[in-house]
Structure 1
Amino acid sequence: MAIEGVALTQFNDLLWLMAQESSGVVDVRNGKSSARGLYQLLRPQYELNPNGEKSFGNAVEECQGGIRYILGRYHTAASARLFWEKHHWY
């Protein structure tokens, strides 16, 4: 979070999203899609990781990619969580 300049107030929602998406398992893969990593980024979003696809397996870089996706799409982790709670995906 510090690397990405994200306020600690977003921690709980980021952690909650990670728990829903990957249960905190680094480089976990979804057998039904290209979703991968702590925040289950799809192939078009792999570039949000600092080193693209090479970032998978590095927990810090997977978090960076997830944070970039969440804030880029939803602006806050709380907004992403609300969307996830309604749709069971984000």
Structure 2
Amino acid sequence: MSKDAAANPANFKTASSAIEKAIRDLKLPNDWLMPTLELVARESSFNPSAKNPKSSAEGLFQFLDGTRKNYGGSKVDWDDPYQQALAGLKYIKDRYKTPEKALQFWDKNKWY
């Protein structure tokens, strides 16, 4: 368990369950789970209510306003971790193709 997961096990359980379900529902490979969890740990420490005080980034995947608009906008309940996971996984697939490539980008830039 990561340091972030140990800090708030309830957030970890909520986030990991939502991400696992979204991976299944989107029919993505099961091996997406661990790298996606790593990315979410880095971005939000598994907190679906996380907000960046310096930008409009919010949620598990720290979507900016523009990204939220492009991935469902007002049709998405952004308070729902599962809906955040669906949008986040679609974004990763669209922009990076795999969560491993998103992590590689994050390693170089400290954001994805």
Same fold (TM over 0.5): yes
Q: State the shift of 1:82 in Å.
A: 0.7
1:56 aligns with 2:56: no
Instruction: Tell me whether 1:80 sits opposite 2:102 in the alignment.
Output: yes
- The answer to whether residue 46 in structure 2 is matched with residue 24 in structure 1 is yes
- Report deviation, 1:5: 1.6
Letter aligned with residue 85 of structure 2 = C
Instruction: Give me the whole-angstrom Cα distance separating, in 1, the residues matched to 2:66 and 2:49.
Output: 16
CA distance in 2, matches of 1:5, 1:45: 22
1:38 aligns with one of 60, 70, 73: 60
TM-score, structure 1 as length reference:
0.90
In the TM superposition, what whole-angstrom CA distance separates every residue of 1:39-73 from its partner, at most 9, and x where no partner exists? 00111111314xx3452211100111111111110
Higher Cα Rg: structure 1 or 2? 2
Number of aligned positions between the proteins: 88
Which structure is higher in helix share? Answer: 2
Following TM superposition, by how much is the alpha carbon of 1:27 offset from its aligned partner in structure 2, in angstroms?
Answer: 2.3
RMSD between aligned alpha carbons? 1.2
Whole-angstrom CA distance in 1 between matches of 2:34 and 2:101: 12
| Percent of aligned pairs with the same amino acid | 32
Long gaps (5+) in structure 2? 1-22
State TM-score, norm by structure 2. 0.73
The separation in 2 between residues aligned to 1:28 and 1:4, in whole angstroms, is 24
